[in-house]
Amino acid sequence: MKLNVSLAAVLLIGGLLAACKGGTDPLKEVKAALKNKRPAEAMKLVRQMERDTAYVPDVQYYELGAMAAKKLYEAENEKLYLRRNPDTTSYFATQYDVFAYALRADSLQRAQQADKKNAGAGLSGAYATLLGRLYPNLATASRYFLGKEKWNEAARYAKMTLEARHTPLLAQRPPQLSPMLEMQNAEDYLYAGYAAGHFDEATRYVELALRDSLHRSTVLHTLALNYEAARKPDEFFSLLKRGVREYPDDDFFFKKLTEEHFRRNKERELLACIDSLLPLRAKKAVLYDAQAEVYDRLRKDTLCLQAAQNLQKVDSGNVRADYFIGKAYVQRAKSILLPTSIKAPGYMKAFKAQRKCYEEARPHLERFRKAAPDAPRLWAPLLYDVYLNLNLGKEFEEISKYNPV
């Protein structure tokens, strides 16, 4: 009785599996499609089997997938050769599938043979020859998809290019990849990963990408943005310092580093960085700008004024120079203490010195206001002090609207 129940259960399970597979051997259907020169149908069946949880892929399955992909590639290659509406995406995709299925077939076969005498034999050399022949095309695919802004595809092809040649199947005759293409694929993987938002994965081949001296600056730019987007402040800060060291004339690294120093309240460290860069840079405006802001934050008005004036000398139209100059003069005016009595000795001298500071500040702050009308929080309080102390009634009345008591 127990035997009959077990037999019935086996038959039931077998029936369910057969039903899941449509009652036929799916591999035979794939073989039939290939035999009848219908590789697209064969690949469709392979994809269906891959999604079928009742089916466990075996070596033959992957081999048939590689065979179907090869036939589809040959058809695309012929269209390209004859210029008959070639589809570049399909041209690359079919080659990728040849690699994907052939490598998985070989990997599974090696795993199954691990305990046998012929362990590691893998697939025949014909597959290695085929992949070696297709490899140069694969190596250029990531750049094509990067240009199309298909980030995930670009990353997928770059990864396959860099890793396929190290697999056991290709170990005896690794396909050749020029250093330029190797570095390019590593770079493409970084660019695509960053653009797709895969920040942690994007850095997989970054050391290889950084070997490219011609595009090293761009790689470092992207890596910095990747760390910033990934919210990795320590890596970001360290990378910016590296960028400034290697490319002292590159404003991207210095401006980002300046922002990060301010965020971390490391103004004095930034000053040291600026001092080290001043002898190295021909264009110094960005350095004087940062220097003026540092001294402004540290409330060193004389040094801020000097840095802002240096900024104006090298960039006469820089409105931030006007802001820092005007603010420094206002701060200097406030630091001049007037005696409590108008008759006290030294009162008139102090009064004139204070007034002169406000007079010096006025044109700079008015120019800054005109250039930055949407920033009243910066210029309104300063102009309020200027107009008040210069006794400019009309101007003071107008600016008072921005400084409600």
The predicted structure's pLDDT at residue 400: 93
What pLDDT sits at residue 117? Answer: 58
Position 22 scores a pLDDT of 47
Residue 3, pLDDT score: 40
Give me the amino acid identity at 19: A
Low-confidence ranges of the chain (pLDDT < 70): 1-24, 115-124, 404-405
pLDDT of residue 57: 81
Q: In this predicted structure, what is the pLDDT of residue 85?
A: 78
Model pLDDT, residue 309: 97
Check if the beta carbon of residue 365 is closer than 8 Å to that of residue 382: yes
Dump pLDDT digits (tens) for 64-80: 999 999 999 999 998 88
In this prediction, residue 50 carries a pLDDT of 83
pTM, two decimal places: 0.83
Instruction: Give CA 236 to chain center in angstroms.
Output: 12
Distance, CA of 227 to CA of 222 (rounded, Å): 9
